[in-house]
Amino acid sequence: MGRLAGTWNGFWSAEGPVAGLGLFRILFACCLLAEIPTSRARSVNAIDDGGFHLPYLDWIPAVPAAIYQLLHDLQLPLILLLALGLAARSSAAALLAIQGYLFLADQLNFRNHSYLFLLLLLLLWLSPAADTLSLRGLARARLAGVGWLGENLAVRRPLTFQRLIQLQVCLVYFLAGLHKLHPAYLRGDVLGDFLDYPPAVLAGLAGLSAALQLWLPFGLWMRKTRPLSMLLGIGFHLAVAWTLSIHVFSFAMIASYLLFLEPQTLPALLRRVD
Amino acid sequence: MATTTRGRYRVQLFVAAYLAIQLALPLRGLVRDKLATRGNFSWNMYADAYTCSVAYTVHEANGQIRNVDYDAQFRGEVFSTKILHRDALPSFHRWLCHELAAGDELRGLVSCKLNDGPWIDLVRPATDLCSPAPPGDA
């Protein structure tokens, strides 16, 4: 029991370079930006227009259309601040509040994309993601009179929230894979609604996608299988983006692979580039 | 950055609570069938073929019958399919009933099919959906 607690503490309390987390923050901000038009079109149930509403909690009100548009416009500067790492924690908190409201205002607004983005925003808010590859890091380097990249890549912080994001990504894969383990999906019936391929091809793609989603949570964690798993995962997401037009979600999942690299790998790569 | 024992304890408590919620929430979607609930929060992305046939009518007190344009009740077709589950339909019925005059009845045929399964009625046909459901009725 004591050994288990020690492993748990060691895993969650470990410190290391957080350059990967910083780069993920920037790429995730790009995803948030790209998602705004979709959110504007698909969260409209938060508008108070006298129509049917199904809020998660009865006391969450719908808002007038003008406020709804404002809530989307407000996200632009906040996303920019998050990307730059300037007042990033406050920006992440404000984005979490706005997107959380749009999400909770009506159950009809539910989309897996927006739910995942909310969770990632929460974890980024709590993480030290803005301590590196940020304007704050630039200012710190200027004050110390050292090179910006070197200073930023040297930043070490607890990896707790980076690892929590990794686990969250793995949960998404694994549960999505579990849901697909039934004959109708594996026969290709579900994919047949979206893709115009012969049944044998649909069945093959269905089996592959389910197997891959069940494998990736393990393959991405293990050092030996990580490179191949990343390649397979990137291929999978590019295929999803291409065939199902799910672009932003796919890009966010690919960006999260940065967090699975050994914490020292990215700084070493960037130093070489520098 | 010095981390106090108390701070570390709080972070680990958050981690444990977060993981517990993220494991418990999807369970609902995994163990309950899609006719009962849409399975939001369970990451059931593109996993099932779910087909429904929907028709609602209002039986007015004067004997006239008029159809309810189901899709027109929503802000887009993409939203109209999201409530076709046993746990969400009662709220929709309450909202439709709220719009009716006294003495009017709302009747519906909502029949759905999950993957290879049979067509199943999610509301009791020929029943006024504005009157309280009998005990034990879905």
- Condensed to tens digits (0 to 9), the pLDDT of residues A192-244 reads 999 999 999 999 999 999 999 999 999 999 999 999 999 999 999 999 999 99
pLDDT top residue among A270 and A71: A71
* Whether the predicted pLDDT of A265 surpasses 90: no
User: A54-88: per-residue pLDDT in tens?
Assistant: 999 999 999 999 999 999 999 999 999 999 999 99
Answer whether residue A7 is part of any domain: no
Asked if A179 lies within 8 A of B30 by C-beta distance, the reply is: yes
User: A145-192: per-residue pLDDT in tens?
Assistant: 777 777 778 889 999 999 999 999 999 999 999 999 999 999 999 999
Spatial CB neighbours of B19, under 8 Å, sequence gap ≥ 6: A164, A167
Spatial CB neighbours of B11, under 8 Å, sequence gap ≥ 6: A12, A158, A160, B3
Mean pLDDT across the stretch A30-51?
95
Do residues A148 and A126 lie in contact, with contact meaning Cβ atoms separated by under 8 Å? no
Asked if A12 lies within 8 A of B3 by C-beta distance, the reply is: no
- How many structural domains comprise chain A? 2
Residue A207 phi, psi (nearest 5): -60, -45
Answer whether residue A274 is part of any domain: no
Q: Are residues A129 and A163 in the same domain?
A: no
| Residue found under tokens 């960037």 | A270
Answer whether residue A143 is part of any domain: yes
Query: Any chain B CB within 8 A of the CB of A172?
Result: yes
Among candidate residues A158, A177, A203, the one where a domain is terminated? A158
Model pLDDT, residue B138? 47
* Whether the predicted pLDDT of B6 surpasses 80: no
Q: Are residues A49 and A137 in the same domain?
A: yes
Among candidate residues A107, A142, A158, the one where a domain is terminated? A158
User: What integer best gives the mean pLDDT of chain A?
Assistant: 93
Answer whether residue A62 is part of any domain: yes
* Whether the predicted pLDDT of A271 surpasses 80: no
Model pLDDT, residue B1? 45
User: What integer best gives the mean pLDDT of chain B?
Assistant: 90
**The two three-digit tokens of residue A114, written as one number:** 């927006």
Mean pLDDT across the stretch B71-97?
93
Task: Output b/e per residue, A101-136; b: 16+ Cβ within 10 A.
Answer: ebbbbbbbbbbbbbbbbbbbbbbbbbbbbbbbbbbb
Asked if A183 lies within 8 A of B22 by C-beta distance, the reply is: no
Q: Are residues A181 and A103 in the same domain?
A: no
Mean pLDDT across the stretch A23-51?
96
Q: Are residues A38 and A153 in the same domain?
A: yes
Q: Are residues A146 and A167 in the same domain?
A: no
Asked if A110 lies within 8 A of B47 by C-beta distance, the reply is: no
- The partner residue sitting opposite A107, judged by closest CB among B49, B74, B88, is B88
Burial class from Cβ neighbours inside 10 Å (0-12, 13-18, 19+) for residue B47 reads buried
Asked if B30 lies within 8 A of A244 by C-beta distance, the reply is: no
Model pLDDT, residue A57? 93
- Calpha distance A128→A250 (Å, rounded): 24
Which SS3 state, helix, strand or coil, does residue A16 take? strand
Answer whether residue A131 is part of any domain: yes
Chosen for mutation from A108, A170, A182, A191 (greatest number of chain B CBs closer than 10 Å) is: A108
Length reported for chain A: 274
Q: Are residues A40 and A150 in the same domain?
A: yes
Q: Are residues A222 and A151 in the same domain?
A: no
Domain coverage including residue A139: 18-158
Among candidate residues A158, A182, A209, the one where a domain is terminated? A158
Q: Are residues A180 and A149 in the same domain?
A: no
Answer whether residue A3 is part of any domain: no
Q: Are residues A202 and A174 in the same domain?
A: yes
Tell me which chain A residues have a C-beta less than 8 angstroms from the C-beta of B92: 52, 54
Q: Are residues A177 and A142 in the same domain?
A: no
Chosen for mutation from A42, A60, A107 (greatest number of chain B CBs closer than 10 Å) is: A107
Model pLDDT, residue B9? 85
Q: Are residues A123 and A170 in the same domain?
A: no
Handedness of CA B84, B90, B96, B101 (dihedral sign): positive
Rounded to the nearest angstrom, the minimum Cα separation between A232 and chain B is 19
Answer whether residue A29 is part of any domain: yes
* Whether the predicted pLDDT of B137 surpasses 70: no
Answer whether residue A120 is part of any domain: yes
User: A118-151: per-residue pLDDT in tens?
Assistant: 999 999 999 999 998 898 888 877 887 777 777 7
Model pLDDT, residue B135? 55
User: What is the DSSP code (8-state) at residue B134?
Assistant: P
Rounded to the nearest angstrom, the minimum Cα separation between A118 and chain B is 12
Chosen for mutation from A42, A57, A175 (greatest number of chain B CBs closer than 10 Å) is: A175
Q: Are residues A218 and A92 in the same domain?
A: no
Model pLDDT, residue B31? 86
Model pLDDT, residue B133? 66
- Look at A51-55, A256-260, B119-123, B134-138 and tell me which has the smallest mean pLDDT: B134-138
How distant is the alpha carbon of residue A128 from its chain centre?
16
How distant is the alpha carbon of residue B14 from its chain centre?
31
